[in-house]
Amino acid sequence: MRQSQLKKYAKLLVKTGINVKKGQTVFVQAGLDQPEFVALVVEECYKAGAKEVYVEWSYQPTEKLSALYMSQETLSELKPWAEAKWAYKAEKYACRLFIESEDPDGMKGVDAHKMSESRKAIFPKIKKYREALENRHQWCIAAVPGAAWAKKVFPELPEKRAIEKLWQVILYTARADGKNPIAAWKEHNEDLKKRCDYLNSLSLASLEYKSANGTDFKVWLNEDGIFTAGSEKTLGGRVFNPNIPSEEVFTSPKAGKAEGIVYATKPLSYQGELIENFSVRFENGKAVEVKA
């Protein structure tokens, strides 16, 4: 992949994704397999006026080992240094950029119940910091190709070629493969807003989904709900894009009002494990049966 195009992508994530403002603190979360691209992102953050940029590196194989060998009690602890970091992010209203590249199936074999319970135990301990950041900071989730991910998408290609191919797909879907990705996203956001305006004008009461694979699902909508998409604003008025790429237009379902069954047409990577050919059946707004 050409360096010039990667620089444009990095700039897009910083200027349009998290939209760093002068003097702001930035935290970047990324895998150890992406040092070159992360360096481009960090440089763009400083060019945009960031006061300080910190990279939180992750490595999925060691995360899996911790999940396998640590006790649930230990996994459920919020260490003082981890809480201090959350407190610092909340104090500074730090931007957060998440760069995803992990193996979609990299946590296969880990006890899902153990991980779920440890996350439940951690959440109340960090809740006050998350609430302090809510709507007060910019954040964005974006992707770069990891080797294992690329091989799952393009198993017929050699690893190097698979990574290159996945780069092409990511940049295309992120509208970052042209001459001016930032201008392309301005146009894209305007288009998404027009679609939201149209959907809001319909005063829809419910949505129904049917497909050839058996999906037959109806969900009712909140009377006061609206459709929204694309860019968001902090309470301070700072515009940012939480997802790059993003094509979704979404709204709020009505509690207790969903009926039917949904069959997946694509695999789902959930907490590091790939789930295929699954279905979820709903009654009175609750998932009452899940098959995979």
Note the pLDDT tens digit of each residue in 69-122.
999 999 999 999 999 999 999 999 999 999 999 999 999 999 989 999 999 999
Q: Residue 21 and residue 15: Cα distance in Å, rounded?
A: 9
Output the pLDDT for position 177: 95
Residue 283 lies in a domain: no
Structure tokens at 1: 């992949």
Q: Residue 276 and residue 269: Cα distance in Å, rounded?
A: 9
Residue (of 108, 101, 117) closest to 68 by Cα position = 108
Residue 223 lies in a domain: no
- The alpha carbon of residue 140 and the mean position of all alpha carbons in its chain are separated, in whole angstroms, by 7
Query: For residue 1, is pLDDT > 90?
Result: no
Output the pLDDT for position 230: 94
Output the pLDDT for position 271: 83
Residue 24 lies in a domain: yes
Q: What is the mean pLDDT of the chain?
A: 96
- Does the N-terminal peptide bond of residue 245 adopt cis geometry, omega within 30 degrees of 0? yes
Query: For residue 55, is pLDDT > 70?
Result: yes
| 25: number of Cβ within 10 Å | 20
Q: Which residues, 6 or more positions from 96, have their beta carbon under 8 angstroms from its beta carbon?
A: 18, 26, 27, 28, 29, 89, 137, 138, 139, 140
Q: Considering its fold, how many domains does the chain have in total?
A: 1
What is the average per-residue pLDDT within 39-57?
Answer: 98
Question: Helix or strand or coil: residue 16?
Answer: helix
Residue 279 lies in a domain: no
The pLDDT tens digits of the residues spanning 250-273 come to: 999 999 999 999 999 999 988 888
Domain of 21, CATH number, reads: 3.40.1830.10
Residue 31 lies in a domain: yes
Question: What's 146-207 look like in SS3?
Answer: CHHHHHHHCCCCCHHHHHHHHHHHHHHHCCCCCCCHHHHHHHHHHHHHHHHHHHHHCCCCEE
| 292: number of Cβ within 10 Å | 10
Output the pLDDT for position 39: 98
Output the pLDDT for position 215: 97
Output the pLDDT for position 270: 87
Residue 222 lies in a domain: no
Residue 79 lies in a domain: yes
What is the average per-residue pLDDT within 213-232?
Answer: 95
Domain that holds residue 126: 3-184
Residue 220 lies in a domain: no
